[in-house]
Structure 1
Amino acid sequence: MSIQDRYRLWSENSYFDEETRLELKNIIDPQEIEERFYTDLEFGTGGLRGIIGAGTNRMNKYVIRKVTQGLAECVCDQGEEGMKRGVVIAYDSRRFSPEFALEAALVLARNGIKVYLFEALRPTPELSFAVRYLQALAGIVVTASHNPKSYNGYKVYWEDGGQVPPAKADQILARINARESWLGIETLSVEEAKQLGLLQIIGQDIDEPYLARVHELVLYPELDKQKGKDLKIVYTPLHGAGNMLVRKALAELGFSSVTVVAEQEHPDPNFTTVPYPNPEIPATFELARKYGNNLEADLLLATDPDADRLGVALRTPEGDYVQLTGNQIGIILTYYILSQKKALGILPDNAAIIKTVASTDLADQVAQYFNVRAENVLTGFKFIAEKEKEMEEGGWGSFQFGFEESYGYLAGDFVRDKDAIIASVILAEAALYYQQVEKRNFFAVLDSIYQQFGYYLEDQESLTFEGKRGKEEIALIMDSFRNLDIHEMCGILIGRVDDYEQRMGKDLRTGENYSLKLPRSNVLRYSFAEGGFVMVRPSGTEPKIKFYFSVKGATLEEAEDLLHGVKEDVMFRIAKIRAGEL
């Protein structure tokens, strides 16, 4: 069908509700119609993410229906047992999240599939836990994570609690694409689904066993119980799903001095107090800082709308707050877990950590020091979860901790995705341990790590290119970098270049080519000879191209200068590429 045929179908056919048809008929800009209908919203990296609105390239209930019908057919392929095991559905605080979740539930029920639907918003990691705990075949979470308020999304999980693996995602996509018509996908009513036993509402019956497993991860429960009240924490859920579980998890362990940012405590789909609800950006901590200053809090914690990412800011001796990077949080947690498990005599001989290739190589150095295996995977927490499963099933590694630089962390074996509740608990305990036992704060801990292994500093830049033309711009930048023969950046020699799209690497010092074992992905990584890297890749969930920077210096000042220089070098190259000069 042409763009105009699609537009006429959606704006005229009575299958689409009056609100949808009216929204489309009121569009007067032909380019807006093209953007909404030139393609279908892409089912990639285990789900969808897009701007809310009417059209095939937008997030709406009809797109939800079509995608869910594809998933339903794959569930039905597993026979009656798979249909009885069913699908768990959770959602966050975004616009239409409850409605999209219910729409998916009722499409599944229409196909005879059992559905477990959370009674209210819940974190993404709890959805992962629930799939495993209920022994369901699959899971869905309606969320756009930390994206702007205009977005929503839909992520699919499989029976191990991890995001749907590539082979299964391909099967779902094939079913979605096989259905050419947007019409005729129907739902059951809520009453009928309940009467047939196909819709079960869940909530506290999942919360309690989930929190029980979270509590098992702490290393010093008696210290937490006795001294937890002495650690002053300010917490903001950023209007999202983390509020209840983060507070409950901390309180039950003994962290009773937790103050919630009242203005950001309750769900708000417009996220009115922040530019957008991403704990990576400093603006999300603006209100928390005010609370912290008034209370002289030790820690500021922020979770994103679906509570799978955690941001942290620390109180300085001068009374201000400094936000940690995702890599710094990951290093603190890695060091704390490995060092304290070793001290307690509970670090397994085959212990392993997992991180992404976009995350700091300092973690590899720390792991090596503790004689712990470090596995590197592609960007995206699903790959960390897949590697954890591979270790578990193969019996060749005992997973201790996993992280990615974009504020995602995981410990334990009962969740297969990044988990801000788990991270909040372990981080609070680590802060308490260093405060009470070693009489130092996280700044001192980080500095001692840097002194031992080198000053690694990281940063990231993202360029946003919306729509069809944006995709072409991103492709141009990637192709140009791939074709450039780059041997240094800001005078720092590059030791290796890894092209994960070609699954080939080259050692620039020897000229040797080698194969890469990780799956094919549109990623380029330039590793500096003396430590650190630059990495470039398009985002799998947003209209962005991302650049990751990591440098290693002998001192903090040297590392800061190197980081500034490398970033300037790369941004200059991008400007020349876009101007057609490279």
Structure 2
Amino acid sequence: MDAQREAMERYRQWQSAGPHPEEIEQDLRDIAHDPAAIEERFYRDLAFGTGGLRGLLGAGTNRMNRYTVRKATAGLARYLHRNRPASAKQGVVIGYDCRRMSPEFALDAALVLAAQGIKAYLFDHLCPTPELSFAVRTLGAAAGVMVTASHNPPEYNGYKVYGPDGGQILPEAANAVTAEIQTVGDLFAVELARRQEAEADGRLIWVREEMDTAYVDAVVQSIRVAGVEQRDRQNLCIVYTPLHGTGNRTVRQSLAAAGYAQVYVVPEQEQPDGEFSTVRSPNPEEPDALSAAIALAGQVDADIVMGTDPDADRVGIAVRHGGTYRLLTGNQVGGLLVEFWLRHKQAAGTLPHNGIVFKTIVTSGLGAAVAKRYGVTVEDTLTGFKYIGAKATQYEQTGAFAYLFGYEESYGYLAAPIVRDKDAVQICLLIAEMAAEYKRQGQTLVDGLEALYRQVGYFAESLISVTLPGVDGIRQIASSMERLRQEALFVEGMQLESVEDYLSGIRSFVDGRPPEELTLPQENVIKYNFSNGSWLAVRPSGTEPKLKVYLGAVGDGEAACQATLERMKRAMEGYLPHPG
């Protein structure tokens, strides 16, 4: 049976399995005479990757809906019973954000677990993703589930699974969960416990605001820097926006508890709104995401602007400098934070002899160069903060290294390992501490960045992202990656030194040296390293239908770096598919 016929058969099965919730019924009616739409929604099961599920909302096996969430949870329950015998008693913590259907998905997941005899701790209110990680660790749970699609557009939702350390599960565990999900037969017949019965016998326990208080207290105690004076905090003026997401309460509480009194929140973006109605995209990486916050900053003469994404695990900033507000990239903020955090630890005598900083293979070398000036080891991981969280847990257990900082170019950072995921709540506070100190010295974070460049060299980065939705998009992405593996990449005026293929696990050298094995796990990433320290990496997105090209330039100034970036962009043009 070909893919289209199989998709049509699945569609008819869904039609006959009703009645469904009204949104599913309407969706099925809307596509009744659209074979292409039926194929796209039913040609496969929504993939359970290393980050769990993420996809468009709607009817179909390739969509996020109550049935796919229930099936995934039934598979997770089977995995826990098989691999973690104590999980029924330890329980699973479930959090959710402000997106469409998030509360419904979270409750369904809790009731499926309860039906399988596994205790479910369910937040009774929206929570940031890092707080879910904190709750897993605090409650000693066997696992966690966060219902979120992070910064994706409103029509998406997702389902992220966490291990007992509070970190996202890695590929081995994700594959095992996937195998269990595939053993779940009729997704319409997944059993749910009765809510009142589950509450009465302790299989459903509500997580209330006391967890928020514990989390905020831990953030403030871990992040507040002794070298920053209280008057510095009082003098700093901040504009913050949660971009309609979950960060509003915990970010503001953390800043207030640390002593920041001048905090203005963008009023039209303060309340949770799954439609993200005032922004084109709730992604702090997008330059216009902070436009409303910057406008308010101009009115109140703020020193710094901060905006968190919907699940508050990433943060973007703009800095007042020379009369205007300048956006800083994730790579630039990461470098600044590494310098500030390590410098203050050194001054306090708390910089460990075996400290370590983590970054991903597509993150700038700026933070690494700074860390090495402090004698701190730097380790690269694959893209995805789950790998940084796993390393933090590994070294905590072995004692080989002491975690200091981890970050990725996509605006995700973790300073205090009280959680095992990127944490915009603690980083908003750390950025405020850093900005307050610079202001006391009559400087801005832009001044600090330029000082770093003078010390360690100039770094600049860029990102090319091509969106390729649907079945054809998957094929185009696969074709582009295959072509790059078969053809040599030539960049005018630059000498290629090595190619790292993380799918084959081999580093090849242009000068004929024997290939080397890569030590990182298998991943569909190709990275090109050039003799001047610049680099280029290509990978399919793990959460969106996109092909991403990361460009990193090293040079003796901004102009030289920009010229290098342009040369690499031109070289990639022929390899990139074009939407539509």
TM over 0.5: yes
| Counterpart contact for 1:238–1:304, Cα < 8 Å | yes
Query: 1:257: Cα distance to partner?
Result: 0.5
| Counterpart contact for 1:234–1:260, Cα < 8 Å | yes
Counterpart residue identity of residue 480, structure 1: R
| Counterpart contact for 2:49–2:171, Cα < 8 Å | no
Superposed, 1:501-540 pairs within 5 Å as 501-540=503-542
Q: Which moved more, 1:97-106 or 1:182-191?
A: 182-191
In percent, how many aligned pairs have the same letter? 44
CA distance in structure 1 between the partners assigned to 2:345 and 2:10 by the alignment: 59
Q: Helix, strand or coil for the counterpart of 1:363? A: helix
CA distance in structure 2 between the partners assigned to 1:448 and 1:357 by the alignment: 25
Q: Which residue of 1 aligns with 2:368?
A: 364
Query: 1:532: Cα distance to partner?
Result: 2.0
CA distance in structure 2 between the partners assigned to 1:5 and 1:241 by the alignment: 40
CA distance in structure 2 between the partners assigned to 1:490 and 1:267 by the alignment: 48
| Counterpart contact for 1:224–1:255, Cα < 8 Å | no
Superposed, 1:243-392 pairs within 5 Å as 243-317=248-322, 319-392=323-396
Q: Which residue of 2 aligns with 1:459?
A: 462
Superposition misfits of 4+ residues, deviation over 4 angstroms:
none
CA distance in structure 1 between the partners assigned to 2:109 and 2:46 by the alignment: 16
Q: Which residue of 2 aligns with 1:181?
A: 186
CA distance in structure 2 between the partners assigned to 1:59 and 1:161 by the alignment: 24
Query: 1:510: Cα distance to partner?
Result: 4.8
CA distance in structure 1 between the partners assigned to 2:334 and 2:464 by the alignment: 19
CA distance in structure 2 between the partners assigned to 1:483 and 1:93 by the alignment: 44
Q: Helix, strand or coil for the counterpart of 2:74? A: helix
Q: Which residue of 2 aligns with 1:472?
A: 475
Counterpart residue identity of residue 160, structure 1: D
Runs of 5+ unmatched residues, structure 1? none
Q: Which residue of 2 aligns with 1:44?
A: 49
CA distance in structure 2 between the partners assigned to 1:405 and 1:431 by the alignment: 20
After superposition, what is the alpha-carbon deviation per residue over 1:226-271, rounded to whole angstroms, capped at 9, x for unaligned? 3212111100000000000000000000011110000100011111
Q: Helix, strand or coil for the counterpart of 1:427? A: helix
Q: Which moved more, 1:148-157 or 1:438-447?
A: 438-447
CA distance in structure 1 between the partners assigned to 2:225 and 2:77 by the alignment: 45
CA distance in structure 2 between the partners assigned to 1:348 and 1:45 by the alignment: 32
| Counterpart contact for 1:11–1:22, Cα < 8 Å | no
- Indicate how the Cα distance of structure 1 residues 574 and 222 shifts in structure 2: closer, same or farther if over 3 A, else same: closer
Counterpart residue identity of residue 452, structure 1: Q
- Indicate how the Cα distance of structure 1 residues 199 and 495 shifts in structure 2: closer, same or farther if over 3 A, else same: same
| Counterpart contact for 1:550–1:563, Cα < 8 Å | yes
Runs of 5+ unmatched residues, structure 2? none
Say yes or no: does 1:168 pair with 2:165: no
After superposition, what is the alpha-carbon deviation per residue over 1:355-395, rounded to whole angstroms, capped at 9, x for unaligned? 00000112221121111000000000000111111111111
CA distance in structure 2 between the partners assigned to 1:416 and 1:245 by the alignment: 17
CA distance in structure 2 between the partners assigned to 1:201 and 1:109 by the alignment: 13
Counterpart residue identity of residue 537, structure 2: M
- Indicate how the Cα distance of structure 1 residues 79 and 313 shifts in structure 2: closer, same or farther if over 3 A, else same: closer
CA distance in structure 2 between the partners assigned to 1:160 and 1:3 by the alignment: 39
| Counterpart contact for 2:483–2:575, Cα < 8 Å | no
Q: Pick one of 418, 422, 447 that aligns with 1:418.
A: 422
Query: 1:194: Cα distance to partner?
Result: 0.6
Q: Helix, strand or coil for the counterpart of 1:492? A: coil
Q: Which residue of 2 aligns with 1:400?
A: 404
Superposed, 1:482-493 pairs within 5 Å as 482-486=485-489, 488-493=490-495
CA distance in structure 1 between the partners assigned to 2:85 and 2:62 by the alignment: 34
Q: Which moved more, 1:241-250 or 1:1-10?
A: 1-10
CA distance in structure 1 between the partners assigned to 2:481 and 2:470 by the alignment: 17
Q: Which residue of 1 aligns with 2:558?
A: 556
Q: Which moved more, 1:233-242 or 1:493-502?
A: 493-502
After superposition, what is the alpha-carbon deviation per residue over 1:278-310, rounded to whole angstroms, capped at 9, x for unaligned? 000011111011101111111110000000000
| Counterpart contact for 1:360–1:532, Cα < 8 Å | no
Counterpart residue identity of residue 394, structure 2: E
Q: Which residue of 1 aligns with 2:241?
A: 236
Q: Pick one of 568, 573, 576 that aligns with 1:574.
A: 576
CA distance in structure 2 between the partners assigned to 1:532 and 1:79 by the alignment: 45
Counterpart residue identity of residue 505, structure 1: R
After superposition, what is the alpha-carbon deviation per residue over 1:468-503, rounded to whole angstroms, capped at 9, x for unaligned? 1111000111011111122x4231112221111110
Counterpart residue identity of residue 330, structure 1: G
| Counterpart contact for 2:223–2:426, Cα < 8 Å | no
Q: Pick one of 193, 199, 208 that aligns with 2:198.
A: 193
- Indicate how the Cα distance of structure 1 residues 17 and 220 shifts in structure 2: closer, same or farther if over 3 A, else same: closer
Q: Which residue of 2 aligns with 1:138?
A: 143
CA distance in structure 2 between the partners assigned to 1:445 and 1:574 by the alignment: 36
Q: Pick one of 24, 30, 41 that aligns with 2:28.
A: 24
Q: Which residue of 2 aligns with 1:494?
A: 496
| Counterpart contact for 1:338–1:347, Cα < 8 Å | yes
Q: Pick one of 106, 117, 120 that aligns with 1:115.
A: 120
CA distance in structure 2 between the partners assigned to 1:578 and 1:435 by the alignment: 45
So what's the TM-score if we normalise by structure 2? 0.96
CA distance in structure 1 between the partners assigned to 2:225 and 2:80 by the alignment: 43
Query: 1:66: Cα distance to partner?
Result: 0.3
Query: 1:81: Cα distance to partner?
Result: 2.8
CA distance in structure 2 between the partners assigned to 1:19 and 1:322 by the alignment: 43
Q: Helix, strand or coil for the counterpart of 1:400? A: strand
| Counterpart contact for 1:124–1:306, Cα < 8 Å | yes
Q: CA RMSD in A?
A: 1.7
CA distance in structure 2 between the partners assigned to 1:296 and 1:458 by the alignment: 30
CA distance in structure 1 between the partners assigned to 2:23 and 2:494 by the alignment: 57
Q: Which residue of 1 aligns with 2:437?
A: 433
CA distance in structure 2 between the partners assigned to 1:238 and 1:332 by the alignment: 24
| Counterpart contact for 2:23–2:58, Cα < 8 Å | no
After superposition, what is the alpha-carbon deviation per residue over 1:403-459, rounded to whole angstroms, capped at 9, x for unaligned? 0000000012210000000111111101111221x3321111111111121110001
CA distance in structure 1 between the partners assigned to 2:54 and 2:424 by the alignment: 21
